[in-house]
Amino acid sequence: MKVIYLTTHVEESDFLRLVSMAKTAPNPAGQNFHGKIIAALSKYGQVKVYSLIPNKEGILKEGLRIAQNGLCYCYFAPAKTLAQKAFLTYRKIALAIQRDNPGEPITIVYDSLNVTLAKAARLASQIMKAPRVAICSDDPRNISFTRPGYAKAVLQLSSNADGYLCLTKKLNLIFNRDCKKYLLKPGVVEEGKAPKKTLDKPYIYYGGALFEKDGVADLIDGYFSAKPALKLVIAGHGPMEEKLRNLAKEHEDLVFLGQISKQDNYAYEKGAALAVNPRLYNADLDAVSVPSKVLEYLSNAPYVASTLSTSLKAIFPKDVNWIEDENFGSFLKRHLDAKGNLRGLARNQAKEKFASLGLSKETFGRDFHHFLSSIKDNN
């Protein structure tokens, strides 16, 4: 079985080019999430990636790209006009899939949150009579900065897919209206290859989107109120970048890195005295979203703290120091000794469970490949 994977993920060195050269920084969350799934699937069969470049500045060009790991990418430039987006780009992708894979049995896997890719997947499925499986990683109504009608289009385009990979049970209920086959997985884990980072003193680390709604303001306020004998290191991009740059100039123990590479992020996670996910708890969001950074932390960091994620707490009740019914400042104060050093934290021992839970690349890839094979057999 050949898997055709539609995504905005690009080869890692190309993503680093975008990070260093683009005026508008690409989002690393989707890049890393889909990259890990692609790598997991490729362990069990042929995967060809059709990628809609996540940037309109022309830094990356259309065409074929062979990655260092041997994966074949076919890049497509994003639409520059509404007419292109509505009528041309998705057709171009679908026809390329037909041209590149004549007569081959394929299964189409696609990012359901991208309307262009969902349209391309639907058209390619119709042309080639191939099953398509939607990857459902969030409720589209929660996605920031989207146009009116976006969420409705996302759900409509995937309402009749042949199968679904969902991070949570609620996502399956939202997307899978006809009760088709589905696979539930909260994510896939990957241990960083880079050695751990060390600084002149221990540090607390956060790497992620820089929004107040993601708890970054609470993280900063809590750090300054608790006054630990540790640095606070923050990496990422978003609306709070300027504030963080200014704070870093005023406070030598607050280090702002901006957006960094995946391996550098892993290195800082490995070296952290505590890796933190401060995202403010929201019951509606909790039901449809899994904080991927917590899985990253569990793959790399010796100690992890996070606000509540119901789905992950059920799996890792003791490997994460769960922050509930308090803010980050009060949590931190409870875990500082008289000298401001961390104490009383539960150590992360989650790695021992990844394979048995089907979250390692090997077991995730195996389970997803078997699921796709079952979808193929029923079509």
Q: What CATH number is associated with residue 46?
A: 3.40.50.2000
pLDDT band, residue 86 (cuts 50/70/90) = low
172 in the same domain as 61: yes
Contacts of 140 (CB under 8 A, 6+ apart): 113, 146, 150, 151, 154, 155
126 in the same domain as 237: no
Nearest to 106 by CA among 88, 127, 89, 135: 127
How many domains is the chain partitioned into structurally? 2
Q: Is the pLDDT of residue 218 over 90?
A: yes
| Domain assignment of residue 148, yes or no | yes
| Domain assignment of residue 268, yes or no | yes
CB-based contact 53:14 (threshold 8 Å): no
**For residues 376 and 58, which has the higher predicted lDDT (pLDDT)?**
58
| Domain assignment of residue 145, yes or no | yes
CB-based contact 236:264 (threshold 8 Å): no
Please tell me the predicted confidence (pLDDT) of residue 99: 95
| Domain assignment of residue 194, yes or no | no
Point out the least confidently predicted range of 19-28, 132-141, 364-373. 19-28
Interval 312-323: pLDDT, tens = 999 999 999 999
Average pLDDT for 34-51 = 96
Please tell me the predicted confidence (pLDDT) of residue 24: 83
Interval 219-253: pLDDT, tens = 999 999 999 999 999 999 999 999 999 999 999 99
**For residues 2 and 70, which has the higher predicted lDDT (pLDDT)?**
2
Interval 308-357: pLDDT, tens = 999 999 999 999 999 999 999 999 999 999 999 999 999 999 998 999 99
366 in the same domain as 348: no
Show the tokens assigned to 142.
Answer: 């929660």
Contacts of the segment 344-347: beta carbons below 8 A, 24+ positions apart:
345/274, 345/303, 345/305, 345/321, 346/303, 346/318, 346/319, 346/320, 346/321, 347/302, 347/303
207 in the same domain as 168: no
105 in the same domain as 210: no
Point out the least confidently predicted range of 5-14, 62-71, 272-281. 62-71
Average pLDDT for 89-114 = 95
| Domain assignment of residue 304, yes or no | yes
CB-based contact 226:332 (threshold 8 Å): yes
CA 155 to chain centre: 20
286 in the same domain as 179: no
Nearest to 287 by CA among 270, 258, 311: 311
CA distance 272 to 153: 41
268 in the same domain as 373: no
| Domain assignment of residue 275, yes or no | yes
6 in the same domain as 153: yes
* Size of the chain, expressed as the number of residues it contains: 379
90 in the same domain as 44: yes
367 in the same domain as 299: no
Mean pLDDT (the chain, rounded): 94
Strand partners, 274: 204
136 in the same domain as 52: yes
Please tell me the predicted confidence (pLDDT) of residue 165: 98
Q: Is the pLDDT of residue 377 over 90?
A: no
Q: Is the pLDDT of residue 141 over 70?
A: yes
Please tell me the predicted confidence (pLDDT) of residue 69: 79
CB-based contact 182:164 (threshold 8 Å): yes
256 in the same domain as 233: yes
Please tell me the predicted confidence (pLDDT) of residue 55: 93
| Domain assignment of residue 195, yes or no | no
| Domain assignment of residue 333, yes or no | yes
Average pLDDT for 74-92 = 84
Question: Phi then psi for 133, rounded to 5 degrees?
Answer: -125, 125
Domain extent for 133:
2-189+360-377
